[in-house]
Amino acid sequence: MKVLEPRLGIQVLGHGRALPGDKPVSNADLLALDPEQQGRSPEVLEKLGQKVAARLGFHQRYLARLPETPARDDEETSESLALKAARQALGGHGGAEVEALIHGTTTTSRYTGSQAAAILGRLESHASAWEVKAGCSTSLASLHLAIALLGSGYCNVLVSCAETLSKVMNPAMKETWFILADGGAAVWLKREPVSPDFEVRRCLYATDGTLVDLYTTPGRLPPDRATLEAGGYCMAGDGTRLREEALRRYLEMLGAMFPGGRGLKDVRWVVAHQINRKLVEQVCEVGGLEARLVWSAERVGNVGGASVLFSLSEALEQGLFAPGDGVLLMSVGGGLSFAMQHWVKR
C-alpha cells in the first residue's frame, strides 16, 4: 500500500453532473414494478418504501432503465451521461483546450471500443484518452491517474465518471433495485503552483485481486445465451463480506495516510463512496475522524464508481470548503479496489 505525496497545486477549471430522466424514482415506484407487490395500494407501497429507506438509506434515485422493463434504443448510457457532465465542466470552452481525458466507468456500452475516445470525439478533441475501471473506486482511481498526469507535465486533465448500474440490477436480488443508481460527473483540473484552489497532499490507490469475485457481475465475455438466461450479467455477491472488507481497508488506509493519527484533526470534510452511510460513520468514529460528510445518496442513490466525483462536484458548487479545510476523498469497491486522497483548500 504505497502512499504518494505529490504536494501538487491544482485549480478546478470547471465541474458538472448529469442524471438520466427528468424526475427521481422513489422506493414506492420501484415496489410498484415488483410482480410480488402487485395489487397493493399506493399507501401500502409508500409505507414499505419507507421501511426500505430506513434499512438501506436510499429514498430515491435516477434510472436510465427501470427494472422489469425492456431496453430502449434511446435510453441513456454511461457514455452519454459522462459527455453531458464533461460539457458542463468545460463551460464555454471547447474540447480542443483539453490536454487529456480520463473517463471512468464499470458499465461501458461499448464491447471493445473506448468510451473515452468517443467522448473526446464528441467534444471535437484529439487529446490523449484513458478509460478506467476500478469498481466503486473508479472516481478515485481516475483522479489518481489525473494527479500523475498533471505532475508529469500535462497542464490540464478532464476527469469524467459515469455509471448506468440500472442495467445490471439483479431480478433475483431485489436489494439491487434500491441500492443501484445511474449518474455521471466531471471535473476539469489544471496544474497551478502559484495560486491553487487545492493542494493535493497525499493519495493512495491499491487493489486486492484475490477478492475480484466478491461482488461483481459473474458473467464472462463474450456473452452467451445460457449465461444471460441464468442472470450472469447482473450484480451478485456477498454484501456482508464486502462491508467487512470495506471497514478493514478504510482503517488500513487511514493508518497509512495519517501515521499515528498525525494530521487527522485537520480533516474537516469526508467525501466517500456512498453505498452505506452507517459504515462511513463507523469508519470516522473508529478511525478518529471528526469531520462532516458530503452526502448526496439520499437524493440520487448510489451511482457506484461515479459517486465520489458526483459528491465532490456538488460540494464545489455549494462552496462548502473554506481555506485551510482538509478534504478526505475515500472509497472501497468490488474488485477489490480501495483509494484515498487528502486535499487541502487554499
N-term to C-term CA, the chain: 28
What pLDDT score was predicted for residue 298?
A: 87
User: How does pLDDT run along the chain (346 residues), one tens digit per residue?
Assistant: 899 999 999 999 999 999 998 899 999 999 999 999 999 999 999 999 999 999 888 999 999 999 988 889 899 999 999 999 999 999 989 999 999 999 999 999 999 999 999 999 999 999 999 999 999 999 999 999 999 999 999 999 999 999 999 999 988 888 899 999 999 999 999 999 999 999 999 999 999 999 999 999 999 889 899 998 888 999 988 888 999 999 999 999 999 999 999 999 999 999 999 888 999 999 999 999 999 999 999 899 999 999 999 999 999 999 999 999 999 999 999 889 999 999 999 9
**Nearest to 273, CA basis, from 205, 326, 207, 339:** 339
> Residues near 17 by Cβ (< 8 Å), separated by ≥ 6?
85, 88, 183, 184, 185, 186, 310, 313, 314
Same fold flag, 9-191 and 198-345: yes
CATH code for 198-345?
A: 3.40.47.10
Task: Give the integer Cα–Cα distance in Å for 284 and 209.
Answer: 26
Phi, psi angle pair for 188, to nearest 5°: -110, 115
What pLDDT score was predicted for residue 172?
A: 81
Check if the beta carbon of residue 102 is closer than 8 Å to that of residue 130.
yes
What pLDDT score was predicted for residue 42?
A: 94
Q: Which CATH number fits domain 9-191: 2.30.110.10, 3.40.50.620, 3.40.1050.10, 3.40.47.10?
A: 3.40.47.10
**Nearest to 82, CA basis, from 197, 209, 183, 180:** 183
- Domain ranges for the chain: 9-191, 198-345
